Amino acid sequence: MKLHQIDTTLTVTAQIAVDDMTSIAGSGFQTIICNRPDGETPDQVAFADIHAAAEAAGMKAHYLPAVTGQVSDADGKAFAALLATSPHPVLAYCRSGTRSATMWALSQVGTQSADAILQTTHTAGFDLSALADRFAAPEPTEMTAVSESGASATNVENVASVAKGNHHQIVIVGGGSAGIATASSLLARDSGLDIAIIEPNERHSYQPGWTMVGGGIFKADTTARPMSVVIPAGVKRIVGAVATFDPENNTLALEDGSTVSYQQLIVCPGLTLDWDAIPGLNDALGHDGVTSNYRYDLAPYTWQLVQSLRGGKALFTQPAMPIKCAGAPQKAMYLSADHWRREGVLKDIQIEFCNAGGVLFGVPEYVPALMEYIHAYGIQINFTRSLVAIDGKAKQATFKQTAADGTVSELVQDYDMIHVVPPQKAPDFIRSSPLADAAGWVDIDPGSMRHTRFSNVYALGDVGNSSNAKTAAAVRKQAPVVAHNVLVALGKLQGAATYDGYGSCPLTVERGRIVLAEFTYGGKLAPSLPQWLINGTRPTRLAWLLKERILPPLYWEGMLKGREWLAKPNIKPNIKP
């Protein structure tokens, strides 16, 4: 945890953890302010957990979130009010610390000059020169832009000159599975490339493992590694978050105001889990029987709930598409039901699957095997039923039910446990950019993964608008395609690589057996292994061993290292992508 002291009353930092509370309190801090919205990334710590840990350590904690790149003047005033009324010293945090520093800067408008604000934040390690105009008016009522020696503080132009922006041959936005795999595949083809990855988070997560954490098979800490460990050697990491894109000029701006330019841009920041879209959900997550395997910190709570439930009602929800790993909502349900069956309490638990869609799984060949388990576990399926609100204290969930004739009704259901999958969307900085289609996703050709309007921009992973399943298995096939086509664009390779829409969803129907769904665009079956070895339409023990024993090391030591086992792209010679 790197601390950036603004003044004697305020220090800012990046995302903190519950385990940091003892050292934070021991350093003398009296108040914590969170400037980061919950659910901004799947693996971040919820403010409710920070709040509880802070109070246990004898500190106050406040929640004042702001979307990256959208800190308002009103946020600055609210921050000033918190500073004025909270015990000092104060520790404020967000994803990187920049939003907290920006809020402080806006809180000082009218009491310090723009020069003084910029100098203070620059000394603390933040370049906010791009926001200088917002700090300049109104005229300050008290000038503090004079140093102890009597010399004037560094002016705006000098502060701005500290960071003029960076240029790189290839810039990758996002250090998740797509960004790391693509960087490694690029370097495997040309080790001399100049590549930069923009990524603010310090932890890289193997998200396919979170279902297994929620089922009691994996421990959460086995699904995460430090970002510094997975960034390929030779790739520069820019610690920051993107605010805006300017593809006409081959540049992008970070939330700290600095700019980065590029020859080729690869966009893969993942998607946003929209927890706020369901009123009451954020307040209830992690307690009151409300959980989700879609977050690193909540998957262990899923397993706690499953183990403790001996009777009552368990609800499992699935929102409207698109979502990452469309089978994950069911996986949580099947593993839970299997545990209750093994414990002999299944007969005492009413399980309901509330699916906003109209089918159990999008590829019909896999549905018969899944339905066998639905019947075996006694699960009630409620199609076209969407979760719209949660009352954690009352343990009630409100749903919108759409009938076959289109009429909509609302119903409230009690629960003892509910596993929630939130609605999902492209990140706000993507949705508001020139790269987005009408629905907010990056607009790409589904075969080449190249942007439909900007020829030196590519996208892969969850953020693209191609119709493939949003899974890590899809990324494993997409990364080599993008790597090849980018090098063709740079004049280093020839031919066109094409992605066929491959995706895979290992449906964990019970502990020890998996229905291994593999398919391409249009739902065409695409098994990777011979049918005599693994028949994907039936639950098999071998598919479970693949998921439990083989896929994690294949991810860490294969895919993220540029080793394209069973993922070599199909190259069409003498054709440009």
552, amino acid identity: P
Owner of token pair 């994996």: 218
- Quote the CA–CA distance of 48 and 54 in Å, as a whole number: 10
Backbone angles phi, psi at 455, to 5 degrees: -70, -15
Q: Which of the 8 DSSP states describes residue 232?
A: P
- Quote the CA–CA distance of 69 and 428 in Å, as a whole number: 9
Question: Is residue 505 flagged as an active site residue?
Answer: yes
Side-chain-side CA neighbours of residue 374 (13 Å): 16
244, amino acid identity: T
- Quote the CA–CA distance of 179 and 475 in Å, as a whole number: 9
Of 284, 279, 277, 278, residue with least CA distance to 393: 284
What Cα–Cα distance (Å) separates residue 150 from each residue in 119, 136, 153, 244?
A: 15, 22, 9, 39
The conformational region for residue 532 under phi > 0 = left, psi -120 to 50 = alpha, else beta, is: alpha
Question: Is residue 34 flagged as an active site residue?
Answer: no
How many residues are recorded in the chain?
577
Q: Which positions ≥6 away from 300 have C-beta within 8 Å? A: 213, 214, 220
Cα three-residue angle 69-271-227, rounded to 5 degrees: 80
CB 534 within 8 A of CB 540: yes
Q: Which of 34, 268, 354, 505 is catalytic?
A: 505
Task: Say how many C-beta atoms besides its own lie within 10 A of residue 362's C-beta.
Answer: 17
Q: Which of 34, 268, 325, 354 is catalytic?
A: 325
User: Hey, what are 352's tokens?
Assistant: 């309901």
324, amino acid identity: K
CB 402 within 8 A of CB 410: no
Q: Is the dihedral of CA 316, 317, 323, 327 positive or negative?
A: positive
The stretches of 231-327 forming alpha helices (DSSP H) are: 281-284, 299-308
Task: Give the β-pairing of 195-198 and 203-205.
Answer: unpaired
Q: How far is CA 406 from the centre of its chain?
A: 33
Of 121, 118, 129, residue with least CA distance to 161: 129
For residue 259, the surrounding DSSP H or E stretch is strand 259-267
User: Hey, what are 203's tokens?
Assistant: 């932890």
139-143: long-range contacts, CB 8 A cutoff, minimum separation 24: 139/110, 140/109, 140/110, 140/111, 140/112, 140/113, 140/116, 141/110, 141/111, 142/111, 142/112, 143/112, 143/113, 143/116
DSSP strand E in 392-475: where? 396-402, 408-414, 417-419, 424-425, 457-459
- Name the CA radius of gyration of the chain, rounded: 25
For residue 251, the surrounding DSSP H or E stretch is strand 251-254
Which amino acids are annotated catalytic?
Answer: 325, 505
